Chain A
Amino acid sequence: MKVSACFKSVLTTTAVAALSAVTVPAHAWEPTKTVEFVVPAGSGGGADQMARAIQGIIVKHNLMKQPMVVINKSGGAGAEGFLDVKGAKGDPHKIIITLSNMFTTPLATAVPFNWRDLTPVKMMALDEFVLWVNAEKPYKSAKEYVDAVKKAGANKMKMGGTGSKQEDQIITAAIEKKTGAKFTYIPFKGGGTVAVQLVGNHIDSSVNNPIEAVAHWRGGKLRPLCVFDTKRMPYKEKMTDTMAWSDIPTCKEAGLDVNYLMLRGIFMAGGVSQDQVDYFVGVLRKVRETPEWTALMNKGAFNQTSIEGKEFTDWVAAAEAEHVALMKGAGFMAGQK
């Protein structure tokens, strides 16, 4: 009995091995079960929208044989999501979309996490930040506005933003450092809320992403002053009667030398093989070629830089160093007074 059972199992193993050798080409890895797509932010926000768009594109164009589910893990300013993927070392069935909180959250809260715990896959795009004021206010340029903030006196003007010690507040701190103006920064839960608070004149300015504020701009309620990028946005289609995204000057042109872009990138858990990374790079490349993706990029006036491999890893390392410097300068590091 024992011998025959043993023999049987050897036989099956050989059979399975032979079978798999035939059906699966040696070089390619493919998911064998449902892939989890972790969003380290709440539902409805920018990262969530992009993740769900990617998922929708993959389903519609049948880019993956296995299903993909989007899971929001927003606890602790995204730490929940990052720790989840960090803990899944070697698991190729988990990917995560990142935003700036990949750098800021561990720095501000000392949660034991670093991007090196993950495997960089691909930068999908960079999100722009624009300085917005209410259209009823007289400020026509960034310079006029900053002068008004200085004239009003310290803490008199209110800058609204998403979260605390995250990208919006970092940009605010950078503006203060460059100009000597002093804002009262008021943190809200989401970018959409910030834009509406600005329309309602409860705050004086915001640094909303284009997609968060575009509806109010087109509705004539908000005015963009400048974009925090080194060059103007390329989108020439008229969004209002007179202006396109490309008509918004860079902040540097407007006399406010501050740049900030936010990474929208895809990462995997640590300890995965190159084959597995290559598989997702391939899928994501196809995602970027679809018309739906182009539509999303146009809608949100994204910076469409997309890199992968070593170039991407180097970019992330440089961005991390930049964030450490910015956070230290602003006094946002954990334990820093």
Chain B
Amino acid sequence: MDALNSLLDGFAVALSLTNIALMFAGVILGVIIGVLPGLGGANGVAILLPLTFSMAQTPGGQTSAIILLSCIYWGALFGGAITSILFNIPGEPWSVATTFDGYPLAQQGRAGAALTAAFTSSFIGAAVGVIVITFLSPIVAQFALEFGPPEFFSVYLLTFCAFIGMSKQAPFKTLVSMMLGFALAAVGSDTVTGTLRMTFGTATLLTGFDFLVAVIGLFGIGEILLTLEEGLEFRGASAKINLKVVIQTWKELPKYWLTSLRSAAIGCFMGIVPGGATPASFMAYGVARRFSKDGDKFGEGVVEGVVAPETAAHAAGTSALLPMLTLGVPGSPTAAVLLGGLLIWGLEPGPLLFVEQKEFVWGLIASMYLGNIAGLIVVLTCVPLFAAILRIPFSVIAPIIIVICAIGAYTVHNATFDIYMMVVFGVTGYLFKKLDYPLAPLVLAIVLGDRAEASFRQAMLMSQGDMRILFENGLVGSITTLALALLIWPMASTLWSVTKKLAAKDA
């Protein structure tokens, strides 16, 4: 029980009055940062990093500094869900999957339930992630080392395959949407050859299409255009909202324990690998839909559809800190900035951090437990407040949303061009909805297309073009097989039910 003892020491470090105050301050700041699209957790942490520089010079200050920054991270993880549910605008990339069921729920007047489910699942996901870090860190760090380019590609393939069958629209439309996403993801500089692709000689396209700009436009602006057409009213505005909704939703949640468990497992796996919180949330949503009894109702507003991605995103976001601490490889952009912070404070992430900076590491881990509890308290008490935003008349809130979206799009690269792009994506999102094309595959392809392509080509370089590298060892072979099975299963099960029906007819 060495870990337990160290953890208790950690609590002693983290539980000072200053540190608890910093925790709440960090969470509140993080929630605000998470709510504003564009201003992600990574930016928030980066902006505050210089402040912590002098903080880290005092004894024990390094722990306080990382507590502040990591609590901003938790806050941003929580906050991302709020706008996803209320306005269909994901505040953070990993909240995209939360919109699929969270927004329909809000439209049905169940915003409070959706928010409570999202926050509670986030907390559970994070708690599972922290427990994994506490007790399994040595084994788990070793596991992350098994991942080379072929393994990464197989994980991305698994995400695509888990997701591809889930769309209700015609398969052809899903394919069109996904291919468009891949094309957009390819714009800009190519990692493998170092050349520029599809920039048409312009400097504005050098950066490619940022995922956030696309999402703000496709979801946020697209939704506003739709609402405009359907009459200036937010549906679901009339819902009664009070703190009771929290208790009512909690009564409902234990039903989804299996989904939670599965999503937490997916999240931890993706965080440690590190594949990231965004693919984790998509994969968990896809898997939950496939295995749920109510799988057909996903997308129309079921609580389970909020539970799955939120649990996974938080489990991933939390466990992503493990490869950062033990290997120096950040599992997310925010973790990358935190990593820079550690180095500036004179700490050296790597295999020896747990040995040499015991107090710091366990203080951080203890603060993860406490920070998440702080986060849950902050966001749950605010549920009625957040949900009440929906009561503001559309003619007042719509211009505010558009302005916030524009600021968000601008912040991503400090480029005015991105605001125009946001509008173009907004019109595209509107047309997609009108023509019944799914948006999710497009978004997924923009997020993962780049990384999937890079790891595939790295793998092909390694094997000199031999595809068998994707089945080279037990690990990569089983992930690839699982991916292909998930892809083929829906087709096979359709075929099976058709033959069964035919057989029944014959008899």
Interface residues of A (CB under 8 A from B): 42-44, 48-49, 52-53, 55-57, 59-60, 69-71, 73-77, 79-80, 83, 108-109, 111, 155, 158, 163-166, 184-189, 192-193, 195-197, 199-200, 202-203, 211-212, 214-216, 218-221, 292, 295-296, 299, 332, 334
Contact = CB atoms under 8 A, between A and B. Distances in A.
B421 to A, nearest CB: 14
Contacts of A69: 47
Given A56-B50, A77-B189, A108-B194, A216 B351 contact: yes
A57 B145 CA distance: 35
Contact of A76 (B146, B206, B337): B206
B188 interface: yes
B500 interface: no
**Size bracket of the B interface:** 35 or more
A224 to B, nearest CB: 15
A55 B462 CA distance: 40
Contact of B462 (A75, A108, A186): A186
A211 B149 CA distance: 23
B350 A219 contact: yes
- Give the interface centre of A59, A76, A189, A193 by most chain B CB atoms within 10 Å: A76
10 contacts: A44-B336, A59-B53, A75-B207, A76-B189, A184-B461, A184-B464, A202-B149, A215-B328, A215-B351, A221-B351
Contacts of B189: 75-77, 79, 109
Given A43-B46, A52-B344, A71-B414, A165 B145 contact: no
B458 A219 contact: no
Contact of A295 (B203, B329, B346, B458): B346
B192 A187 contact: yes
B343 interface: yes
Contacts of B145: 196, 199-200
Contacts of B196: 76, 79, 109, 111
Given A43-B333, A44-B340, A75-B206, 15 more contacts: A49-B344, A52-B46, A59-B51, A74-B207, A75-B208, A76-B199, A108-B195, A163-B191, A164-B191, A192-B329, A196-B327, A199-B327, A212-B328, A215-B348, A218-B350
A74 B349 CA distance: 24
B42 A43 contact: yes
Interface string B138-177: 0000001111110000000000000000000000000000
A328 to B, nearest CB: 15
B340 A52 contact: yes
B328 to A, nearest CB: 5
A105 to B, nearest CB: 8
A221 B350 CA distance: 11
Contact of A75 (B49, B188, B337): B188
Given A76-B207, A189-B191, A215 B454 contact: no
A113 B61 CA distance: 43
B413 A73 contact: yes
Given A49-B344, A56-B50, A111-B196, A186 B461 contact: yes
Contacts, number: 159
A43 B337 contact: yes
A35 to B, nearest CB: 13
Interface of B: 42, 46-47, 49-51, 53-54, 57, 144-149, 188-196, 199, 203, 206-208, 327-330, 333, 336-337, 339-340, 343-344, 346, 348-353, 413-414, 454, 458, 461-462, 464
A137 to B, nearest CB: 15
Contacts of A220: 351
Contact of B192 (A109, A164, A203, A218): A164
Given A71-B414, A186-B458, A299-B348, A109 B195 contact: yes
Contacts of A216: 328, 350-351
B53 A196 contact: no
A215 B51 CA distance: 26
A186 B196 CA distance: 18
Contacts of B458: 186-188
Contacts of A60: 53-54, 57
Nearest to B336: A44
A184 B462 contact: yes
Nearest to A108: B194
A42 B42 CA distance: 12
B291 to A, nearest CB: 32
Nearest to A57: B53
Nearest to A291: B57
A215 B329 CA distance: 11
Given A108-B195, A215-B328, A56 B53 contact: yes
A60 B193 CA distance: 41
Nearest to A104: B194
Nearest to A71: B414
A203 B147 CA distance: 12
B456 to A, nearest CB: 12
Nearest to A195: B328
A334 B194 CA distance: 10
Contacts of A49: 340, 343-344
B191 A187 contact: yes
B146 A200 contact: yes
Nearest to B341: A52
Contact of A79 (B203, B333, B349, B414): B203
A218 B50 CA distance: 28
A82 to B, nearest CB: 10
Nearest to B343: A49
B475 to A, nearest CB: 11
